[in-house]
Amino acid sequence: MPPVEKDFDFVVTDIRYVVHKQTEPAWKVEYANEDWYILALSTGGKAHYRIRGEQYLIKKGDVLFFPKNLWHSGESDVDDPWSYYSLIFKIVITDSAYQDKLMEIRPVVKNNLLFQSAPLFQALHNEWVEKRAGYLIKCRSQVMDILSMLIRESASEEDISPQVYIIDQIVHYMIANSQRFYSVDELSQLAKLSQSHFRLLFKKVTGMSIIQYQNKLKINIAMDLLVSGKSNVTEVALRLGFNDIYYFSRLFKKKTGQSPSEYVKRNK
């Protein structure tokens, strides 16, 4: 059985509205929407929400996500009413076995994501209001971008988003230079961090050690190269920096549950 974990797999379809609102002190809401998913970004002020029996103080930069049928109630802070972007939309789950997977996303993601989320919501709102040719496709892709951001944040054990950018840049560098194997010393110097701090931060963000993650990236790239049919197993291994073809094959099978040749046959 392949050890590769199945990921979130869904498609954003109908978007009913995208709005930006400044609420009054008396603003309140209480319901569970049966048909629509809801996303919101606080752009100022404060609000008080109750979700799944828990109380949340919503401040600028916080992102809210409500799957359909999730009961929630909220009200503006009387002294500092909140303003927000909000949208409702539908999702088609491509595999019914993962129907409940969206419930893994935290309903409130705190404002350490502000540097990422605010531009996304602003761009989505602008696109929706302008309604230029192709705006529906663009808006759906922007909602998917926001959801993927929330999924990754919810998967983190701690709120470490301000530091995620550093690791993202290192990972992008590793992908761009996938023919190389990097030492902790080399990568920590690129990140301008001590080796111990870099190791700890890398593990927090990715959930893996540096060696494990490098191997994961290389095997992911190898899978695509093999399926493309333009390179054989030896060529792929060498292209990814593996001088020992047998080690590459063992690692590939460990990660995918199949040998490289078996993988090619099953994915022709």
pLDDT in tens, 242-265: 999 999 999 999 999 999 999 988
What's the rounded mean pLDDT across residues 161-190?
87
CATH architecture of 10-155: Sandwich (2.60)
Per the listing, tokens 């049928």 go with 69
Residues contacting 249, CB < 8 A, separation 6+? 233, 237, 259, 260
3 pLDDT higher than 50:
no
Domains of the chain, residue spans: 10-155, 161-266
Closest CA to 219 of 237, 232, 235, 201: 237
pLDDT digits (tens, 9 = 90+) for 81-114: 999 999 999 998 877 766 667 777 888 988 665 5
Q: Can you say how many angstroms the Cα of residue 74 is from the centroid of all Cα atoms in its chain?
A: 26
Which CATH superfamily includes the segment(s) 161-266? Homeodomain-like (1.10.10.60)
> Going along the chain, which residue ranges are E strands?
10-22, 28-31, 37-44, 47-51, 54-58, 63-66, 72-76, 83-93, 108-109
Higher pLDDT, 78 or 164: 78
Higher pLDDT, 59 or 206: 59
pTM above 0.85, yes or no: no
206 pLDDT higher than 80:
yes
Distance CA 78, CA 81 (A): 6
Q: What is the pLDDT of residue 113?
A: 58
